[in-house]
Structure 1
Amino acid sequence: MASIKGLSDLSNEIAKALTEYTEDVTKGIEKEKRINAKKAVEMLKAASPKSESATSGEYANSWTTSKIDGKQVIYNKEHYQLTHLLEYGHANRDGGRTPGKPHIRPVEEFISDRFIEGVKKVIGK
């Protein structure tokens, strides 16, 4: 640190240190977002239900992530209409009900906890 010759210099040094810290924290959080979004996509692909038909795995393989307005958004790009139906179940034409296969919520809970821990490490808590 440079030698400080007065109150003005002290406030400048403090402002400089805070700016550097803020930049480091911002970069660290962005990195955590990318890492956790990638891990979430990987986990969703593994946890998603797969049918026994010839198109098996299309739903699972359609999970992806994009950065939108500074946020990492995880979504199913091809079969987005099925996410709610598969997660929570749905009514059938014959009056029966297909049970849900929870695969999104467990991943979301795991990634949320992991992200929070990563942010704590970034900010030094």
Structure 2
Amino acid sequence: MSWPTITVDELESTISKMLDEYGDEVTNDLNDAVKETTREATKIIREEAPVDQRNVARRGTYKKAITAKQTGKSRDEPEYKIWASKEYQLAHLLEYGHQTAKGRTKAQPHFAKGEEYVKKTFEKKVRDKIEK
């Protein structure tokens, strides 16, 4: 990178311009890391989601309904939500278990595994993208 020749009068505007460019690069890298991590976490949650083996017509319906959606509109603060779009009522019941007439169902924590993945990898991905 060649450094521009500037006068003392132009120093403030040049530094400001360079910091703005760096800030834009970091913002783009952060957005990429958020999008990539969300996509991978969604895939993990789908793989871990339970499948109703008793009802052939519903088999895999819940698993296919798990998707990610961008909820934050700001470019500076990317925000995504991973949820079961058509079967959202089942998410909490399956994740934590629930009471039935015959007793209590077993919890099947699949969203927790996606959350654990995000906690482990997100910061590292952001650092790697910014450092290159």
With normalisation by structure 1, the TM-score equals 0.90
SS at match of 2:70: strand
1:88 to 89, 96, 105: 96
* Aligned partner letter, 1:62: A
SS at match of 2:6: coil
With normalisation by structure 2, the TM-score equals 0.86
| Aligned-pair CA distance for 1:47 | 0.5
Contact 2:67-2:82 within 8 A present in 1 as well:
yes
After superposition, residues 24-63 of structure 1 pair within 5 angstroms as: 24-52=25-53, 53-54=55-56, 55-63=58-66
CA–CA distance in structure 1, aligned partners of residues 108 and 43 of structure 2: 18
**Identity in percent:** 29
What is the number of residues matched between the two proteins?
123
Any gaps of 5 or more consecutive residues in structure 2? 74-78
* Aligned partner letter, 1:84: H
CA–CA distance in structure 1, aligned partners of residues 90 and 123 of structure 2: 29
| Aligned-pair CA distance for 1:123 | 3.2
Per-residue CA deviation, residues 48-68 of structure 1 (Å, 9 max, x unaligned), is 011112111111110111111
SS at match of 1:75: strand
| Aligned-pair CA distance for 1:5 | 1.2
Aligned: 1:110 with 2:112: no
Show structure 1 runs of 4+ deviating over 3 A.
none
